[in-house]
Amino acid sequence: MAAANGGVPDPAQQRIAAAIAAYVARPHPVALCCGIQHYGWGDHRFIPELLGAPAPAAAPQAELWIGAHPDLPAAVCLRPAKVPLDRLIAAAPEALLGTATVQRFGNALPFLFKVLAAATPLSIQVHPNRDQAARGFAREDRLGLALDDPKRCYRDRNHKPELLVALTDFHALRGFRPLEEIQAELARWPSLADLATRLDGTTDGLRRLYADFMRLPQPAVDALLGPVVAQAHRRAPDPTEGRADPGTDPPTDPEQARCHWLLQAHRRFSPAGHYDRGLLSLLLLNLLHLRPGEAIFLPAGALHSYLAGTGLEVMANSNNVLRGGLTDKHIDVEALLEVLHLDPHAPEILTPSIRADHAGWHSYEPPVAELALHRLRLAPGATAPLQPGAAMLGLVLDGAVELRGSASRLRLKRGGSCLIPAGGALCISSGEGADVALATTPAGVVSPGAVGA
């Protein structure tokens, strides 16, 4: 690439081009340097401790992004330069992603891998399907909204189904509760009793109720939710009293737990003298407590919020979020209602499938084509063969590993992440024992039979 000063080559770009050319000639597992999103709801300890950085961090560290999304692509640690992962993949998509992945998804990594660490609730939100994302992206382009405009909901044209696997106790809201539960819940709050009478036992009736509430002017929202917050204070302990971190250890009683999260969300998000309309979702949605290793899947249109905890996320390669409350970011009620899918039922909590030939190999394969997640636990001195049929992104959660190919060797310690290109037989081993997460597509064929101690 030429510089602006008379066409003189840019040395930095020359180094990047040379690094890409050398890697494309011999693809192999390579370390990644990944970026962190400092959202206000983030935790100050988990991600820095995982990465071996000082903790607590000065700023909240909400998400570690391991992927190639243009909003925050990982850097591939090549010599003589670091190269953005999306740029490296664009230079040799078939060699890195695999032919089947390119034929199905094009020349881009189809998934995004994250570590999520939440100290306080995230926004009430929903993600679009692929058609909705394409229309929304085009609409916001026509409005002249830049990709980094804070009022923009659609950052790309892709859908965003996602899988979350808990690493610690994890609390979340996911999808509307069964209709009879919602009606009984609303009836328990005197200021909401009229809403309960409007439910007619149908999903359409719930949709009308939710849409009408979300469109209410703020004074009407305050009149409904003010008494709810006051009553919640009487029903549950103060979520901040005596707690260094109010996002941990909610009450075990289900009713008190809902009050706990409602009060915490109110303290965090309601403007002075008012009540955030997202508080109603604390009563309408299923409240889940995931134990480590348990997971939930979020298809397009599922209303949800993560309340507290740490987990691994794998999603389609998208950053599209439509918010309906509990946030300082842009809220677009009409855009949210446009993509909202109501299916009121108690959601399934997922557990991994475990390989018969290796009890340390746990797999999560949600019903989408873009993503799957595997966790490999290696005993001290153990070795496992690996035959990736698609690109993999790896993260060492504990211990240390070595990845050996026919002409390559990569060592990673706790917190280290890597790109494993498609094809080529590898062995992954650990002298001290390790816990490794591997994100890929369902076509990422693996051979996890382990040998060794």
Q: Within 13 Å of residue 167, how many CA atoms lie on the same side as its CB?
A: 20
Tens digits of per-residue pLDDT, 111-151?
999 999 999 999 999 999 999 999 999 999 999 999 989 99
Within-domain flag for 166: yes
Residues 340 and 388 grouped into a single domain: no
Q: How many CB atoms within 10 Å of residue 64? A: 26
Q: Do 100 and 445 form a contact (C-beta atoms < 8 A)?
A: no
Residues 238 and 348 grouped into a single domain: yes
Q: Do 153 and 318 form a contact (C-beta atoms < 8 A)?
A: no
The residue with tokens 């000065």 is 58
Least confident stretch, 213-217, 238-242, 294-298, 396-400: 238-242
For residue 351, pLDDT over 90 is answered with yes
Residues 40 and 124 grouped into a single domain: yes
Residues 179 and 204 grouped into a single domain: yes
**Cα–Cα distance, 402 to 157 (Å, whole number):** 37
Residues 98 and 123 grouped into a single domain: no
Report the DSSP beta bridge partners of residue 77. Answer: 82
Residues 28 and 49 grouped into a single domain: no
pLDDT of residue 8: 65
Tens digits of per-residue pLDDT, 253-294?
889 999 999 999 999 999 999 999 999 999 999 999 999 999
* Structural domain ending residue among the three candidates 335, 368, 401: 368
Q: What pLDDT band is residue 453 in, cutting at 50, 70 and 90?
A: very low
**Cα–Cα distance, 406 to 385 (Å, whole number):** 12
Within-domain flag for 165: yes
Structure tokens at 451: 């040998």
pLDDT of residue 53: 96
**Cα–Cα distance, 198 to 206 (Å, whole number):** 9
Within-domain flag for 44: yes
Distance, first Cα to last Cα, the chain: 51
DSSP letter for each residue of 185-211: HHHTSGGGHHHHHH--SSHHHHHHHHH
**Cα–Cα distance, 165 to 409 (Å, whole number):** 29
Q: pLDDT > 90: what percent of the chain? A: 80
Residues 115 and 236 grouped into a single domain: yes
pLDDT of residue 96: 94
Q: Do 141 and 343 form a contact (C-beta atoms < 8 A)?
A: no
pLDDT of residue 38: 97
Q: pLDDT > 70: what percent of the chain? A: 93
For residue 169, pLDDT over 60 is answered with yes
* Structural domain ending residue among the three candidates 348, 368, 388: 368
For residue 178, pLDDT over 60 is answered with yes
DSSP letter for each residue of 125-159: EE---HHHHHHHHHHHHHTT--TT-TT-S-SSS--
Q: What pLDDT band is residue 18 in, cutting at 50, 70 and 90?
A: confident
Within-domain flag for 82: no
Q: Do 237 and 249 form a contact (C-beta atoms < 8 A)?
A: no
The residue with tokens 């706790």 is 414
Structure tokens at 362: 């746990």
For residue 7, pLDDT over 90 is answered with no
Burial of 4 (0-12, 13-18, 19+ CB in 10 A): exposed
Within-domain flag for 384: yes
Tens digits of per-residue pLDDT, 405-447?
988 999 999 999 999 999 878 999 999 999 999 999 987 656 5
Residues 278 and 404 grouped into a single domain: no
Q: What are the φ/ψ torsions at residue 201 (nearest 5 degrees)?
A: 80, 10
Total domains, the chain: 2
For residue 86, pLDDT over 90 is answered with yes
Residues 395 and 340 grouped into a single domain: no
- The backbone region for 210, taken as left when phi is positive above 0, alpha when psi lies in -120 to 50, beta otherwise, is alpha
Cite the active site residues: 323
Model confidence, pTM: 0.92
Q: What pLDDT band is residue 246 in, cutting at 50, 70 and 90?
A: very low
- Helix 218-235 × helix 254-269 angle, to 10°: 130
For residue 452, pLDDT over 70 is answered with no
Within-domain flag for 79: no
Residues 356 and 400 grouped into a single domain: no
Q: What pLDDT band is residue 202 in, cutting at 50, 70 and 90?
A: very high
pLDDT of residue 281: 97
Structure tokens at 255: 């009713």
**Cα–Cα distance, 68 to 87 (Å, whole number):** 8
CATH number at residue 64: 2.60.120.10
Domain that holds residue 427: 10-32+94-106+371-453
Residues 313 and 181 grouped into a single domain: yes
* Structural domain ending residue among the three candidates 314, 337, 368: 368
Q: How many CB atoms within 10 Å of residue 15? A: 16
**Cα–Cα distance, 311 to 294 (Å, whole number):** 10
Within-domain flag for 80: no
For residue 164, pLDDT over 90 is answered with yes
Give the chain's mean pLDDT: 91
Residues 323 and 420 grouped into a single domain: no
Within-domain flag for 89: no
